[in-house]
Amino acid sequence: MTGFIAGLLDATVRAATVFILAGLGEVISERAGVLNLGVEGMMLVGALGGFATTVVTGNYWLGFLVGTGLGVLLALIHAFLCITLKSNQVISGVMLTLLGAGLTTFFGQSWVENSISGFPQMSIPVLVEIPIIGPAFFQSTATDFLAILLIPVSWYFLFRTNLGLETISVGEDPEMADTMGVNVFRRRYLAVLVGGAFAGAAGAHLSLSFSQLWVPGMTAGRGWIAVALVIFAQWRPSRVFVGAYLFGLLDAFQLRSQSLELTLGAGAPLADLLNPVLNFLFHPTIMATYPYLATIAVLSYTVARTKTDQLAVPSALLQSYSRETE
């Protein structure tokens, strides 16, 4: 059981990295007033681009950068549609998710049978020797450590730098920000592009560190969970960390628990009654739904227990801004 727990924690860290990167990018984008529902599509192109580049060049860092750049490219389309053309942000985001899924399914078929070594494990001396949690938290890939580092960096950027505060201001009151001399369009463009970079990086981590392979649709809804995670986090980077590890644990558990025997022995009380229930609850197909059921439960709890004025929704979220009409 100790080995199972250690393996589960290790898988949780690597699974949580996907949610941390994508969630932080979405926080920054939404803080500027632009909802990005194209995270799933950006993650997919990042995963395929990073994987294909690594297969061709053998350089996983180059693959990671290419995956990040492809996320920025899709984000640029989203920014142009929503900020310049003032299109509906929801429609644009869904369109980009469908576009990313379609492009990666079409161009990714030839990469399915390839394999890579991906990012190697790195360890922090002394701390890695801590029983059970040491190998999980202090022996990970570079992208896992990078994601954790980006939590305080994102917090400091948003709440302690002029650029970050200006980003928040254009998501709260773009008219006032414009009056104070802040370039609303430039700040929103920058935030959306940063969000796209984070989403592309999350996808690249998925194919280069987490699974080290490419399968069409391999994000499996993680982009949508990242969008929902922002609400749970109340648009705060620090709470993204907590939510990411919660969903990462569920994601890792439904993969790792398939090797466990989770039924009662024939002589156990009520075994005949409980075993069919346990077989159903821990069936791989049923367990695959748990992260999404947990997403619904967590969001429902967060919204129900938090007053509207305390939820911290950016006031100008989903609202286009035009200087000519103000």
Residue range 56-93, pLDDT digits in tens: 999 999 999 999 999 999 999 999 999 999 999 999 99
Q: How far is CA 227 from CA 206, 267, 318, in A?
A: 17, 47, 14
Whether the predicted pLDDT of 194 surpasses 90:
yes
Whether the predicted pLDDT of 127 surpasses 70:
yes
Smallest CA-to-CA distance from 136 within 123, 151, 152 is with: 123
* Residues facing 140 on adjacent strands: 122
122: phi then psi, degrees, rounded to nearest 5: -120, 150
Whether the predicted pLDDT of 180 surpasses 50:
yes
Smallest CA-to-CA distance from 100 within 118, 127, 73, 119 is with: 73
Whether the predicted pLDDT of 29 surpasses 50:
yes
Whether the predicted pLDDT of 42 surpasses 60:
yes
Whole-number pLDDT of residue 250:
82
Instruction: Tell me how many helices (H) and strands (E) the chain has.
Output: 14, 2
What domains can you pick out in the chain, each with its CATH number?
2-325 (1.10.3470)
| Mean pLDDT score, 34-56 | 95
| Mean pLDDT score, 120-138 | 82
Mean pLDDT is lowest, of 191-195, 216-220, 295-299, for 295-299
pTM given for the model: 0.87
Percentage of the residues of the chain whose pLDDT score is greater than 70: 89
Does 251 or 217 have the greater pLDDT score? 217
The DSSP output letter for 218 is T
Dist CA 128 CA 14 (whole Å): 16
| Mean pLDDT score, 137-158 | 92
Whether the predicted pLDDT of 214 surpasses 80:
yes
| Mean pLDDT score, 304-309 | 61
Band of the pLDDT at 270, cuts 50, 70, 90? low
Mean pLDDT is lowest, of 43-47, 200-204, 267-271, for 267-271
Dist CA 146 CA 166 (whole Å): 25
Does 323 or 127 have the greater pLDDT score? 127
